[in-house]
Copies of this chain bind each other. A is one copy, B any other.
Amino acid sequence: MVAPLAPDMFDELCPSDLTPIRFGDKWAGMIIRCLEGGPRRFSELRVPLRGVTAKVLTRSLRKLEQDGLVRRTVHAAPTRRVEYALTPLGRSLLGPIEVACAWAREHWDELIDAREGVVAAD
């Protein structure tokens, strides 16, 4: 029983290029959120993480595995399947990530304004 992935979820939830908050490398935070609903296959992760190349996704996943946040499982039969799932430690990061995303959503306009050079009325 695995929740479906909304392809666009990160466009509004994880604007990592704009906010000063990052979890690991560029994709780590999004990967963790992708895995919130249950295990995902390599190719399933590539869909919502638009633009990520296989090499970079692999590297990010290996790093997450090393850090104990994600577990990789290979199923041989009937065909090759590789699944990635959150460990308890990885799952414990969902809270802080959501806090960061909530902050970004809440202050989105101010961030845009600051970047554009709008002087804040203090």
Contacts and interface: CB of A to CB of B under 8 A. Distances in A.
Copy tally for this chain in the complex stands at 2
Tell me the interface secondary structure of chain A in the complex.
Answer: helix
A23 B23 contact: no
B66 A115 contact: yes
26 contacts: A20-B69, A20-B93, A21-B21, A21-B24, A21-B96, A66-B114, A66-B115, A67-B114, A67-B115, A68-B111, A68-B113, A68-B115, A87-B120, A87-B122, A88-B122, A89-B107, A89-B110, A89-B114, A92-B103, A92-B106, A93-B103, A95-B103, A96-B96, A96-B99, A99-B99, A99-B100
Interface of A: 20-24, 28, 66-69, 87-89, 92-93, 95-96, 99-100, 103, 106-107, 110-111, 113-115, 120, 122
